Amino acid sequence: MNLRTEPSDVNWNLLRTFCVIAEEGGITAAARRLRMSQPSVSLALQRLEEQLGCQLVFRGSRHFALTRRGEGVYQECADILRSVNRIAELSQDRNDEAFGTLTLSVISRLRSGLLDEALRLFHQRNPSISIRIEVRNSLETVRHIAEEKQGVGICLLAKPLPGVACRLLMREEFGVFCGAEHPLFGRSEVEARELAREPFAAFSCATEGMGLEPMALLRDGLGIGRRISASSHDLGEIRRLIIAGIGIGILPVDSVAQELGTGQIWRLHIADHVLGADVFMVFTDSGQLSVAEQRFVDTVEEIKAIYPDMT
């Protein structure tokens, strides 16, 4: 047997047949496993030996045995087969793998373990879907989803709205704050009437039509904010205006923890008033969610079902 072929010319089917022969310990058992005739298996072994130019199996022995070279070829073939099997396993049940982009609109500076966990789990399950987060106020988010019929939003709402699907996620605590130079800085408690005429730094979206933003309802419920001294769409800028002494304002409590600690800002505790607003997940109610959107919605609802108190 002095005929040799290039490794790339070796017939893979012959190698696979040889692996089965080695594993089954003989040609007869291999033929049974492969559902082939014994002569066909013997011929396949002979052809492989001719292609490789070496003897793989001892002939004429009562007990089946591989030659030294046959043992080496078998070990290499077994490794290849294991790799092929792993490839097959990786390719199975992957028809549900999704691609594309999830566009998520989120209110400014929202701190939420629920949202963090939803994003982590969503990405883990859908690594081929990219995530794009856009910071929008609640009014812009609802308008965008209602008009474009796409996207998912996390926003503050006074109540569920028609035109979009709304899922309550949690309640966010709010407070009324003033800067270090304000006369009420350091007061343990104030009356709402004391704040009625104070200059107010307002979220622009809370002063524009619809009364969509809960801050507008919180402000009106306290009877404050009649003198709008400054406004912005961005939570960080409202915080800056309050610290600068431009006016008092309403902010999420979690968003100013650092400033409270450094004494830049003060929370005005108002007697008999606890401020809070509901955070909702919103998306189109037309039933036309993309695969990425539906999977994110399902992920959030799954987490809420398992951990109903997560915020």
For the chain, what percent of residues have pLDDT higher than 90?
36
Of 3-17, 101-115, 206-220, 256-270, the one with minimum mean pLDDT is: 206-220
Domain containing residue 56:
7-91
174 and 229 in a single domain? The answer is: yes
Boundary of a domain, candidates 67, 91, 115: 91
Same domain, 182 and 235: yes
Q: CATH number, domain at 199?
A: 3.40.190.10
Average pLDDT (58-74) is 85
Same domain, yes or no, for 177 and 264? yes
pLDDT at 1 over 50: no
Residue 272 lies in a domain: yes
Maximal CA-CA distance, the chain: 108
Does a structural domain hold residue 262? yes
On average, the pLDDT of the chain sits at 85
Residue 244 belongs to a domain: yes
| Separation of alpha carbons 139 and 293, rounded Å | 20
Lowest-confidence pick of 50-59, 61-70, 206-215, 279-288: 206-215
CA distance 144 to 101: 17
Do 199 and 249 belong to one domain? yes
In a domain, 136, yes or no: yes
Q: Is 178 found in the same domain as 261?
A: yes
CB 166 within 8 A of CB 282: yes
> Quick one: pLDDT at residue 193?
87
Judge if 53 and 36 occupy the same domain: yes
What's the confidence (pLDDT) of residue 95? Answer: 54
Number of domains in the chain: 3
pLDDT band at 209 (very low <50, low <70, confident <90, very high): very low
For residue 136, is it left (φ>0), alpha (ψ between -120 and 50) or beta? beta
Same domain, 189 and 263: yes
> Which of 90-99, 257-266, 281-290: highest mean pLDDT?
257-266
pLDDT above 90 (res 308) = no
Question: Among 90-99, 289-298, 302-311, where is mean pLDDT lowest?
Answer: 90-99
Q: Which pLDDT does position 249 carry in this prediction?
A: 92
Last residue of a domain, one of 91, 123, 154: 91
Residue 1 lies in a domain: no
Q: What are phi and psi of 238, to 5 degrees?
A: -65, -40
Please report, for the domain that includes residue 59, its CATH number. Answer: 1.10.10.10
Nearest residue to 148 via CA among 156, 130, 136, 160: 136
Query: Do 164 and 297 fall into the same domain?
Result: yes
Task: Assess whether pLDDT exceeds 70 at residue 6.
Answer: no
Segment 219-258, tens digit of pLDDT? 777 888 889 999 988 888 999 999 999 999 999 898 899 9
Please indicate, yes or no, if residue 192 is contained in any of the structural domains.
Answer: yes
Assign 89 a pLDDT band (cuts: 50, 70, 90).
Answer: low
2 inside domain: no
How far is the C-alpha of 115 from the C-alpha of 281, rounded, in Å? 10
Contacts 24+ apart (CB under 8 A), 77-84: 77/15, 77/16, 77/18, 77/19, 78/19, 80/15, 81/16, 81/19
Percent of the chain with pLDDT over 70: 89
State the pLDDT confidence band at 294, using cuts at 50, 70 and 90. Answer: very high
Query: Does position 16 have pLDDT exceeding 70, yes or no?
Result: yes
Q: What is the pLDDT of residues 113-166, one digit of tens each?
A: 999 999 999 999 999 999 999 988 888 888 889 888 788 999 888 888 888 999
Task: For the chain, give the secondary structure using H, E and C.
Answer: CCCCCCHHHCCHHHHHHHHHHHHHCCHHHHHHHHCCCHHHHHHHHHHHHHHHCCCCECCCCCCCCECHHHHHHHHHHHHHHHHHHHHHHHHCCCCCCCCEEEEEEECCCCCCHHHHHHHHHHHHHCCCEEEEEEECCHHHHHHHHHHHCCCEEEEEECCCCCCEEEEEEEEEEEEEEEECCCCCCCCCCECHHHHCCCEEEEEHHHCCCCCCCHHHHHHHHHCCCCEEEEEECCHHHHHHHHHCCCCEEEEEHHHHHHHHHHCCEEEECECCCCEEEEEEEEEECCCCCCHHHHHHHHHHHHHHHHCCCCC
Boundary-marking domain end, from 72, 91, 110: 91
Give the strand pairing for 275-284 and 227-232.
unpaired
**Is the model's pLDDT at 186 over the cut of 60?**
yes
Q: Are residues 123 and 174 in the same domain?
A: no
Task: Tell me: do 151 and 293 sit in the same domain.
Answer: yes
The residues facing 57 across adjacent strands are 66
- Domain assignment present for residue 226? The answer is yes
- Strand pairing of 152-157 and 265-268? unpaired
Q: What is the pLDDT of residue 214?
A: 63
195, 271: one domain: yes
Q: 159 and 287: one domain?
A: yes
Residue predicted with more confidence, 97 or 177: 177
